[in-house]
């Protein structure tokens, strides 16, 4: 399975990615997690990414695309993968098309997790208290939401035209949301 997990900040992408990836036996590739790992190790990529992430802005496409290309080329991703938080711009969609097309495969599904806007802010503020992520302040959360609407939401129409989108209600208990995603994707993997 070659899958994409999309949704606004706080919808539950990272939370659900692990369960979905385990279920289908593929690696979960989270661009946010890779950036954060680089930030904490103080690598040049981390220093570059931190400037954008702390402000709630997207890291430039060239940097993000190269990082994903390198990760997808690793052997564990040959049978499939789940992309969590990538692509987020139209330029990243094009780049990903090239990466997958090059291997002779195609995408199987795009899961879009939806949730109420105020609930999203509450979840991220709650996470701020437990994890202390620099980009989980109310001001930065609002900026991340704006950027999601202007840069990433338009991607849903692109993938809808390709018949790949499964919109999943992200409200409710984590386990309920996981069950909804499994139901949608099990139907895809059996077709």
Q: What amino acid positions are annotated as catalytic residues? A: 13, 88, 127, 133, 144
One residue of 2, 3, 9, 20 binding ligand B4P per CB under 6 A:
9
Residue 46 interacts with ligand B4P (CB under 6 A): yes or no: no
- The pair of structure tokens assigned to 176 is 């309920």
Applying CB under 6 A, the span of 9-17, 39-47, 97-105, 180-188 interacting with ligand B4P comes to 9-17
Q: Which residue stretch of 3-11, 74-82, 153-161, 179-187 sits at the interface with ligand B4P (rule: CB under 6 A)?
A: 3-11
Among 4, 21, 35, 181, binds ligand B4P (CB under 6 A): 35
CB-based contacts of 17, cutoff 8 Å, min separation 6:
5, 28, 30, 82, 84
Choices 70-78, 85-93, 103-111, 179-187; region in contact with ligand B4P by CB under 6 A: 85-93
Lookup result for tokens 């989980």: 136
Our finding on whether 15 is near ligand B4P (CB under 6 A) is yes
Size of the site for ligand B4P (CB under 6 A): 28
Neighbours of 190 (CB within 10 A): 6
DSSP 3-state percent helix, strand, coil across the chain (nearest 5): 60, 10, 25
Query: How far apart, in whole angstroms, are the C-alpha atoms of residue 41 and residue 37?
Result: 6
- E strands of the chain, at which residues? 2-6, 28-30, 81-84, 109-114, 165-169
| Whole-number Å distance between alpha carbons of 103 and 35 | 25
- List binders of ligand B4P among 102-131 (CB under 6 A): 123-124, 127
Closer of 139 and 190 to ligand B4P (Cβ): 139
Point out which residues bind ligand B4P (CB under 6 A): 9-15, 31-32, 35, 52-53, 56, 58-59, 64, 85-86, 88, 92, 123-124, 127, 135, 144, 170, 174, 177
């Amino acid at each position: 399975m070659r899958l994409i997990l999309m949704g606004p900040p706080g919808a539950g992408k990272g939370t659900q990615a692990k369960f979905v990836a385990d279920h289908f036996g593929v690696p979960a590739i989270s661009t946010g997690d890779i950036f954060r790992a680089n930030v904490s190790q103080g690598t040049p990529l981390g220093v570059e990414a931190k400037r954008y992430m702390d402000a709630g802005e997207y890291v430039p496409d060239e940097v993000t695309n190269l990082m994903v290309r390198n990760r997808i080329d690793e052997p564990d991703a040959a049978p499939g993968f789940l992309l969590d938080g990538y692509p987020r711009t139209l330029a990243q969609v094009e780049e990903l098309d090239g990466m997958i097309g090059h291997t002779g495969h195609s995408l199987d599904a795009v899961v879009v997790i939806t949730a109420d806007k105020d609930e999203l802010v509450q979840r991220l503020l709650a996470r701020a208290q437990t994890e202390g992520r620099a980009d989980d302040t109310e001001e930065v959360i609002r900026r991340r939401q704006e950027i999601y609407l202007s840069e990433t939401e338009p991607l849903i129409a692109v993938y809808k035209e390709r018949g790949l989108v499964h919109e999943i209600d992200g409200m409710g208990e984590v386990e309920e949301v996981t069950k909804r995603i499994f139901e949608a994707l099990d139907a895809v993997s059996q077709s």
